[in-house]
Amino acid sequence: MAKLSLRNISKRFGDTQVIHDFSADVDNGEFLVLLGASGSGKSTLLRIIAGLTDAGAGDIIFDNLRVNRQSPRERDIAFVFQSYALYPHLTVRENIAFPLALDRFKGWHHIPGISAIARRVYGSSKEIVKQVANVSSMLELDEYANRKPGGLSGGQRQRVALARALIRNPSMFLLDEPLSNLDAKLRAELRGEIVRLHRLTGKTFVYVTHDQVEAMTMATQIVILHNGVVQQHATPQEIYARPANTYVARFIGSPPMNLMTAAVNDGQPALGGLRLPAPEQLRLRLRNGSVTLGLRPEHLTVTADVGGPGLAGTVRRIEDLGADTLIGVQPDPALGLKMWELNQDDLLWIRQTGQTRLMAGDPCTVTPEARMASYFDGDTGVNLAPADETSTALLPG
Amino acid sequence: MTTKEAPPITRSAPHKRRLKAPGNRNFSKPARYVMLAALVLFSGFPLYWMLNTALSQDSELYGQAQGWWPHWERLADFGDLIGSVPIFKWLTNSVVIAGGTTLLSLIFAVLAGYALSRFKFHGKGAAGFLLFATQMLPEALLVVPIYALFASLGLLNGMGGLILANVAFTMPVSVWIIKGAIDAIPYEIEEAAAVDGCPRVTILSLVLTPLILPSIAAAAVINFFDGWNEFLLAKTFIAERDLWPASVGLASFIGQYLTSLNSVMAAALLFTLPALIFFLLVQRRIVSGLTAGSVKG
């Protein structure tokens, strides 16, 4: 059981600053997901927590104890690797028993030659065999107990890696993209498995991924990293409803949030001539000139009517996903609508439940759900609505 | 009526080829056996001729043409021939020297290979290169300085000194073989072991060594045969007849005026056998290690 605090962690590799002054507190039992694109420093951060990489600067605190100088073993963590990192020469049973057997080693057991015997002797002790059997059945690995990792599928290997982490009953689980080598179906299955293990153990989990679906479905807290800088640290719902800046807005959501430039006159934003009612507190923050406006695809509706209130445009793409349909609309150039950052093909994406009767090439009208709009500073990209005032109001549904 | 005319699906020809194991599709089975038999004959004939010579009479060897078939009845004399010299003593010495060389060289090679593979330190490139420097100089060139060195250290005329000298010549190759093997093992496996509570020495002994066993076996073969066949250093450093390895002992059969060819071949045959047995023992490890392979996580 551990509460994790990171204080002002910085890390550089040569000339590259990988992590900039990272601080976070994670309560016991939280499921923290470090989310970011590759090169964002998320894996480095996890390795620093584990003790596999030295923190360049800052403090790593487990339950009021500074652990910077402690080895991974002393920190009492379990680490699950993307590549599984199973011991290929040992059977599944021996792989799972390995950490427990090592726990019982006395100093002289580490002498080469003796260590191999000691591992076997301890690994076959009644108590360990029983624990291994328990964990194996929990992860449905019983029938593979005598196989070697080479004879297992990717999903089974990752289960073994989870079992090996689980058996030690560590204070904290650290997982480094454990599912990214698996196919989509297995990924969904193991996602559920990991969430179940989290509930079961009640331990702190820190999970690194670049997959927003994993982050949204598993996390109790998400930290979004970009080039080693924290973009937002919040609950998944908060991040989705109120992204802290344009980077987060584009990173979370598929398709991502539509971002476009809206004109502001007297604190009144307008999109291609369409006036948007903005909350009073927000209007005070809007500078005259322009603001970046964000709308999730589900907060736009599209109709075949032409000439009604809304943004005129032409349907360009239809992506039928079965339950939903994504519709890509090119806004009428006459509106002078400026996309802030090119959305895919410079289109405004709209999500609609069910199927649509619209066809590519049809003229249409897009109506934004104005109260769901996010407003970002035109220069810095920072969300202008303060978290406490609007986060609940903006929660979808 | 129409059903009768339907073509039988199972008779399609292309499937026949697929039944063959991949890699064998170029030659028919008899052709492969003929080729293998030729190879076996080619490499086995010298061995057979050694046996044949060992069982021949001097008169046959120097006079008439040597017969194709060995005189099995001379097998009893064979024992007398090798009984006249301490051949088993020499073979034992050879086993000690080759075994000692192999063991010492492998221990050093695993440690050095690990360091070269995993650690970053100043002069790493130079260290790796210098290991090969010993291979660039011919052994004969180094015999004299090593002799002088061993003379002052009191290592002459002993198997310990000979083992040390052999290790110096054979270890570098082993270091590079083992470095290459460790390079191929994902670093995460070591990190996983560290998280599971292994200090570095235990990572090396419990996790890495079993994984690079095929390479260790390959290096062992090279080291053992280097030690087994080594002649120059042994001839120079060891004067006492009882301490000779078999390679030197074998050479002593070649006299200035008289060489009993059948005795030489009899001794040579005995000299070959332990090496052959060692290879057969280790070779299984190499092959099984290679096929088991699944080092990839």
Put simply, the answer to whether A164 touches B197 (Cβ < 8 Å) is: no
Instruction: Determine how β-strand A363-368 pairs with β-strand A300-303.
Output: antiparallel
Higher pLDDT, B81 or A335: A335
B 160-219 near A (Cβ less than 8 A) = 186, 188-189, 191-199, 201-202, 204-207, 209-211
Flag whether the pTM goes above 0.90. no
Res. A64: pLDDT tops 60: yes
Reported as a single tens digit per residue, the pLDDT across B212-262 is: 988 898 899 889 999 999 999 999 998 888 899 988 888 888 776 777 777
Res. A396 pLDDT band, cuts 50 70 90: very low
What would the mean pLDDT of A96-125 be, rounded to a whole number?
Answer: 91
Res. A85 pLDDT band, cuts 50 70 90: very high
- Check if the beta carbon of residue B247 is closer than 8 Å to that of residue B253: no
Q: What pLDDT does B23 receive? A: 52
User: What percent of chain A has a predicted confidence (pLDDT) above 90?
Assistant: 57
Nearest alpha carbon to residue B248 among B270, B273, B229, B221: B229
Among A78, A87, A115, select the one facing B195 at the smallest CB separation.
A78
Res. A389: pLDDT tops 60: no
The count of residues in chain A is 397
Q: What is the mean pLDDT of chain B?
A: 82
- Check if the beta carbon of residue A44 is closer than 8 Å to that of residue A19: yes
Reported as a single tens digit per residue, the pLDDT across B43-73 is: 989 888 888 888 887 777 777 777 788 777 7
Put simply, the answer to whether A103 touches B192 (Cβ < 8 Å) is: no
Res. A391: pLDDT tops 60: no
Q: What pLDDT does A387 receive? A: 59
Q: What pLDDT does B190 receive? A: 94
Picking from A44, A73, A90 by the largest number of B CB atoms within 10 A of its own CB, the best residue to mutate is A73
Nearest alpha carbon to residue A50 among A17, A73, A28: A73
Res. B293: pLDDT tops 50: no
Put simply, the answer to whether A79 touches B191 (Cβ < 8 Å) is: yes
What would the mean pLDDT of A280-284 be, rounded to a whole number?
Answer: 77
Res. A294: pLDDT tops 60: yes
Q: What pLDDT does B70 receive? A: 77
Put simply, the answer to whether B210 touches A83 (Cβ < 8 Å) is: no
Higher pLDDT, B290 or A317: A317
Chain B hits for A157, Cβ within 8 Å: 297
Going from the C-alpha of B277 to that of each of A3, A139, B6, B270, the distances in angstroms are 61, 47, 62, 11
User: What percent of chain A has a predicted confidence (pLDDT) above 70?
Assistant: 95
Chain A hits for B201, Cβ within 8 Å: 110, 112
Alpha-carbon span A94 to A146, nearest angstrom:
8
Any chain A CB within 8 A of the CB of B103?
no
SS3 B118: helix
What does residue A343 show for φ and ψ, rounded to 5 degrees?
Answer: -70, 170
Q: What pLDDT does A290 receive? A: 80
Q: What pLDDT does B257 receive? A: 72
Looking at the complex, report in whole angstroms how far the Cα of residue B177 sits from the nearest Cα belonging to chain A. Answer: 20
Contacts of B131 (CB under 8 A, 6+ apart): B112, B171, B172, B175, B176
Higher pLDDT, B101 or A113: B101
Looking at the complex, report in whole angstroms how far the Cα of residue B185 sits from the nearest Cα belonging to chain A. Answer: 10
Reported as a single tens digit per residue, the pLDDT across A12-41 is: 998 899 999 999 999 999 999 999 998 899
Chain A hits for B297, Cβ within 8 Å: 81, 83-86, 88, 149, 157
What would the mean pLDDT of A179-192 be, rounded to a whole number?
Answer: 89
Q: What pLDDT does A244 receive? A: 92
Q: What pLDDT does A87 receive? A: 94
What would the mean pLDDT of A159-174 be, rounded to a whole number?
Answer: 92
- Measured N-to-C along each axis, helices B159-183 and B124-136 cross at an angle, to the nearest 10 degrees, of 130
Res. B11: pLDDT tops 70: no
The per-residue DSSP string of A148-197 comes to: -GGGS-HHHHHHHHHHHHHTT--SEEEEESTTTTS-HHHHHHHHHHHHHH
Alpha-carbon span A312 to A364, nearest angstrom:
6
CB atoms within 10 A of CB A333: 9
What would the mean pLDDT of B81-101 be, rounded to a whole number?
Answer: 87
Q: What pLDDT does B291 receive? A: 47
Q: What pLDDT does B115 receive? A: 94
Chain A hits for B189, Cβ within 8 Å: 85-88
Looking at the complex, report in whole angstroms how far the Cα of residue B197 sits from the nearest Cα belonging to chain A. Answer: 5
Higher pLDDT, A85 or B254: A85
The region of weakest confidence among A131-145, A217-231, B259-273 is B259-273
Looking at the complex, report in whole angstroms how far the Cα of residue B205 sits from the nearest Cα belonging to chain A. Answer: 5
Q: What pLDDT does A229 receive? A: 92
Picking from A49, A74, A108, A110 by the largest number of B CB atoms within 10 A of its own CB, the best residue to mutate is A110
Nearest alpha carbon to residue A299 among A333, A268, A258, A343: A258
The region of weakest confidence among A92-96, A375-379, B30-34, B105-109 is A375-379
Q: What is the 3-state secondary structure (H, E, C) of chain A?
A: CCCEEEEEEEEEECCEEEEEEEEEEECCCCEEEEEECCCCCHHHHHHHHHCCCCCCEEEEEECCEECCCCCHHHHCEEEECCCCCCCCCCCHHHHHHHHHHHHCCCHHHHCCCHHHHHHHHHHCCHHHHHHHHHHHHHCCCHHHCCCCHHHCCHHHHHHHHHHHHHCCCCCEEEEECCCCCCCHHHHHHHHHHHHHHHHHHCCEEEEEECCHHHHHHHCCEEEEEECCEEEEEECHHHHHHCCCEHHHHHHCCCCCCEEEEEEEECCEEEECCEECCCCHHHHHHCCCEEEEEEECHHHEEEECCCCCCCEEEEEEEEEECCCEEEEEEEECHHHCCEECCCCHHHCEEEEEECCCCCCCCCEEEEEECHHHCEEECCCCCEECCCHHHHHHHHCCC
Res. A393 pLDDT band, cuts 50 70 90: very low
Put simply, the answer to whether A149 touches B297 (Cβ < 8 Å) is: yes
Higher pLDDT, B19 or A331: A331
Alpha-carbon span A81 to B211, nearest angstrom:
19
B259: DSSP letter: B
Q: What pLDDT does A345 receive? A: 64
